Amino acid sequence: MSKRFVVVTLAFLLTLVASFGMAAEKTTKTKSQKAAAAAPAEPKAPRLTIVEPVKDFGTVAKGDKIDWSFAVKNTGDADLEIRAAKPACGCTVADFDKVIKPGQMGKVTAHVDTTNFNGPINKSVTIETNDLNTPSSVLTLQAVVKPYVDALPAGFIRYNLIQGDADIQTFTLVSDEEEPFEITGVDVPGDYVKVNYMKVDKPEDLLKAGRTGQNQYRFAVTLGGPTAPIGPLAERIRIHTNSKHQPEYLVSVSGLVRPSISVEPHAVNFGEVSPSDASAVRTVVLHSSDPKALASFNVTKAESSTSAITAEVMPSTNPGEYQVSLKVAKNAKPGEVSGTVKIYTNDKVNPIVTLPVSATVKTAGAAAASSK
């Protein structure tokens, strides 16, 4: 066999193998392309990206209102929906853009009132979105709240009084300002709150607080008296100063004023009744609220404005307590009865207690039918 024949044969075989390889590769590429075309496309989705999740304001003056808009970007290819922005506490209020388009920027704005804080604070807002990978994210505001004006021992007043009584509480106002500290005015919530203040002159009376050498003021607050409203109360005393950082200092005033006499019930309605019915008799109980006046409390008489209802005072076995028996009179005429009962006491604040009374007196026929 000649060399030429061998060479030609090998070349033919190599060409044949290469042809088969190219055909197989072409078939494989065709199948891959068909498979790729048949595969479903990736669904579009939003993606939440927080540009600055934490904002540190450094040192702020007590009473400052902190506002900051956190930048929120949608780095996905579908609309990003912010469904909620939930503050960690009631002192933080959040506003936000509800829908952010793909590639666009939005914002979540947090507001913090520092009036009731001292020292470091860390306030957060949790946002909830339709991003399945990041359904929620936390934004944080940080600051150190510095009181340039402060009250010692406390910047609040609490009380529990009986109507007519008064209570005096004191505190000292200090400042950390460099300029000489001055009080420019005081606003009170009502005439039942009276405020007096004076500069502390004696060095030995100065508190070791605020800036050294700065003015201090001693406040005396009188609460109560006959004009104090009965019930729970929550108000503020506003102290105006020349402080550039904290020109207004708020002193919270809260508590309870109880009536000097407790009366139960406050009104009597006999309903539809006959003078002979058991329900034609009602009892009103009066009790002094002042523990110091139990022995001296006295109810002298009770008067009814209508002859259809009688009133009689009876001492109770309990100290400081009286009962007033109200009855539908035997000779009460049928029909509607309306009037008042005045109860006279030796209480200085409430010497006369007035109760509304009413009844519907049955006719003789209706009373007889009712008894049957």
- The SS3 assignment for 29 reads helix
- The SS3 assignment for 156 reads strand
> Residue for token digits 């008894």?
371
The amino acid sitting at 65 is: K
pLDDT tens-place string over residues 215-224: 999 999 999 9
> Residue for token digits 């300029």?
179
pLDDT tens-place string over residues 47-94: 999 999 999 999 999 888 899 999 999 999 999 999 999 998 777 878
Spacing of C-alpha 119 from chain mean position? 22
Provide the pLDDT for residue 43: 83
Closest listed residue to residue 355, CA positions, set 331, 326, 313, 335: 326
- The SS3 assignment for 15 reads helix
What is the rounded CA–CA span in Å between residue 325 and residue 112?
Answer: 58
pLDDT tens-place string over residues 343-367: 999 998 889 999 999 999 987 555 5
What are 208's two structure tokens? 């070791």
Whether 370 contacts 364, CB under 8 Å: no
pLDDT tens-place string over residues 60-70: 998 888 999 99
pLDDT tens-place string over residues 24-45: 555 555 555 555 555 566 788 9
Residue 75 sits at φ, ψ, to 5 deg, of: -95, 10
Domains along the chain? 48-146 (2.60.40.10), 149-258 (2.60.40.10), 261-371 (2.60.40.10)
Residue 47 sits at φ, ψ, to 5 deg, of: -140, 125
What is the rounded CA–CA span in Å between residue 274 and residue 252?
Answer: 54
What is the rounded CA–CA span in Å between residue 336 and residue 341?
Answer: 16
Give CB contacts under 8 A, 24+ apart, made by 89-94.
89/123, 91/116, 91/117, 91/123, 92/123, 92/124, 92/125, 92/141, 94/125
